[in-house]
Structure 1
Amino acid sequence: MGFPGTWMTESESVVYRVVPKCACSTIGQIMYYSDHGEFFDGDIHDAKTGLHKWAMEDSQGPITRNVQGHRSYSFTCVRNPYTRVLSSFFDKICGIQRNGRRYRGNLVPKLVYDYGIEVGGDDGKQEFDQIRSFRRFLLFVRDTIRFRRPMDPDIHWSAMSGHVSTFIWNGGRYDKILWTEAFNDGMADVLGAIETPQAVDLSAIPRFNESEGHGPKRAHPVEDYFDDLSMHLIYEIYKRDFELFKYDFEDPSNKMPIGEIDLDEVHAKLGE
């Protein structure tokens, strides 16, 4: 299986396991900058040079040797499950992607037809009942994760613990798991623990939110999208994420973690 979703600087200063919808564009650009003194011109996910990525065959050997030998500081980043799945809905389901088309071709028409979801018209910008459509989207998410129907779960809404675990299964070990909600503090810890060819001034780094503007703006507070049934579904899908990464399941309005992540617990439970 190897190390899917793993990126590493060419200098091998640091290793990062990507978790979609968790500041991955910004982290990738910081890694790129720390080697080259400039940002990648475009979406870092499109970069084919300047950064080792597991998806590129030539990078697999260096990544495997580094991770299995724990030669470099390794980290990942997580996010509150409530806001992450909401972000996935507005970006991937309601939004027009950077190629000018809907995400995954016929996925959105299928959701409109099978689940009665609205997405804001052809351009994703028209008004619609966001709460009703999001709750129907959650049923679809549950179906993909529990029953793998009508498709396998997508990386953008599959559980974070699933992404994080693949790194551990094949011999990787995390030195840090940071929260998107406390990004500067967490990233400062990472940069403070490594030596980079180029100095990185975290306060001067822009946020590379590549999904910004793809879809409609969220019209309501986070908690308005989640009634009792929605919260039940969320817990069914993301129970392990809440527990391991210390987020507050009881209060969707509280996006901040409520405890410290125990790395030993994460490795023990996700390495099973």
Structure 2
Amino acid sequence: MAFPGTWLTESESIAYRVVPKCACSTIGQIMYYSDHGRYFDGDIHDSTSGLHKWNQEDSQPIIDRAVKSRKAVSFTCVRNPYSRILSSFFDKIAGIQRNGKRYRGNLIPQIVQRYGIEVGSPEDNFDFDQVASFRRFLLFARDTIRWRRPMEPDIHWSAMSGHIATFIVNGGRYDQIFFTEKFNEGMQKVLDAAETPVKVDVNAVPRFNESEGHGPKRAHKVSDYFDDLSRHLVWEIYKKDFQLFRYDFDDPDNKMPKGEVDLDEVHAKLGR
């Protein structure tokens, strides 16, 4: 069985199912540090050694064994769906990527043409109607997820429950699932449960936000971006995320979860 999107420390102490736009850069760097006593020099997504990743062929049997034997503490991290889809828009659609180019080459011109989205540019200081463009992007995201057109859904805006389910369906079990909004507390619990070669104090870890500073800043509060239609689309796409991870659908400005994750419920509902 496969464990796509899974990272494992070389000491096999911690296994992490990556969920894009949920602090994955910081988590990867913490895992790297917990083995090596230093952070990876660069974006952790670019590392090809020092951390086992499922997309590295040599790592696959090691990850498979560590996950199935329950040797590693297995976890993932989730985020409020409203904040997550907004972050995807500002980073991947309106932002410039680390390589100085737009995300996925011809994607942006395609959706500008088909959906009337505006994204601005560094030259005009990203001057565009953020609310109107985001709502049109949301329609595009829904189309990719519901009908897989005009393209397959992207990992950055497909539902968290979909990412998280593959780990369960293929024979893994999560020991912990914590919230990006309570990051330090949740990450520290994972580290405390694992026997890592290097101790990590999460409060001393810098934030590794690889999308920071490459695009426009959000100009409005979260709820301003979501009218009735937008919220209908968000529910259509992320209903399971709101329900399983206890986020507040009724108040987009309340980013905090309303309760803890019930691991048994997650495994029962996503393991089918």
Q: Secondary structure at the match of 2:197?
A: coil
Distance, in Å, in 1 between the alignment partners of 2:168 and 2:61 is 17
Identity of aligned residues (%): 74
Distance, in Å, in 1 between the alignment partners of 2:83 and 2:179 is 12
Distance, in Å, in 2 between the alignment partners of 1:247 and 1:61 is 35
User: Conserved in 1, the CA contact under 8 Å of 2:34 and 2:200?
Assistant: yes
Structure-1 residue corresponding to 2:94: 94
User: Conserved in 1, the CA contact under 8 Å of 2:5 and 2:54?
Assistant: yes
RMSD across aligned positions (CA): 0.9
Distance, in Å, in 1 between the alignment partners of 2:125 and 2:156 is 21
Structure-1 residue corresponding to 2:145: 145
User: Conserved in 2, the CA contact under 8 Å of 1:96 and 1:124?
Assistant: no
Cα shift readout 1:39-98 (whole Å, capped 9, x = no counterpart) = 000000000000000000000000001111111110000000000000000000011111
Q: CA 1:30–1:124 in 2, change beyond 3 Å: closer, same or farther?
A: farther
User: Conserved in 1, the CA contact under 8 Å of 2:126 and 2:215?
Assistant: no
- In structure 2, runs of 5+ residues without a counterpart are none
Question: Structure 1 residue 191: deviation in Å?
Answer: 1.0
Structure-2 residue corresponding to 1:62: 62
Structure-2 residue corresponding to 1:209: 209
Q: How does the TM-score come out when normalised to structure 2?
A: 0.98
Structure-2 residue corresponding to 1:121: 121
Distance, in Å, in 1 between the alignment partners of 2:225 and 2:5 is 30
Write the mapping of 1:73-88 to structure 2, written as runs, cut at 5 A. 73-88=73-88
Structure-1 residue corresponding to 2:25: 25
* Letter of the structure 1 residue corresponding to residue 223 of structure 2: E
Structure-1 residue corresponding to 2:231: 231
Question: Structure 1 residue 124: deviation in Å?
Answer: 7.5
Distance, in Å, in 1 between the alignment partners of 2:112 and 2:189 is 44
- In structure 1, runs of 5+ residues without a counterpart are none
Q: Secondary structure at the match of 2:15?
A: strand
User: Conserved in 2, the CA contact under 8 Å of 1:96 and 1:123?
Assistant: no
Q: How many residues align?
A: 272
Question: Structure 1 residue 126: deviation in Å?
Answer: 2.4
Question: Structure 1 residue 225: deviation in Å?
Answer: 0.2
Distance, in Å, in 1 between the alignment partners of 2:243 and 2:115 is 30
Q: CA 1:141–1:87 in 2, change beyond 3 Å: closer, same or farther?
A: same
Distance, in Å, in 1 between the alignment partners of 2:123 and 2:173 is 43
Distance, in Å, in 2 between the alignment partners of 1:214 and 1:159 is 24
* Letter of the structure 2 residue corresponding to residue 131 of structure 1: V
Distance, in Å, in 1 between the alignment partners of 2:56 and 2:126 is 39
Question: Structure 1 residue 122: deviation in Å?
Answer: 5.9
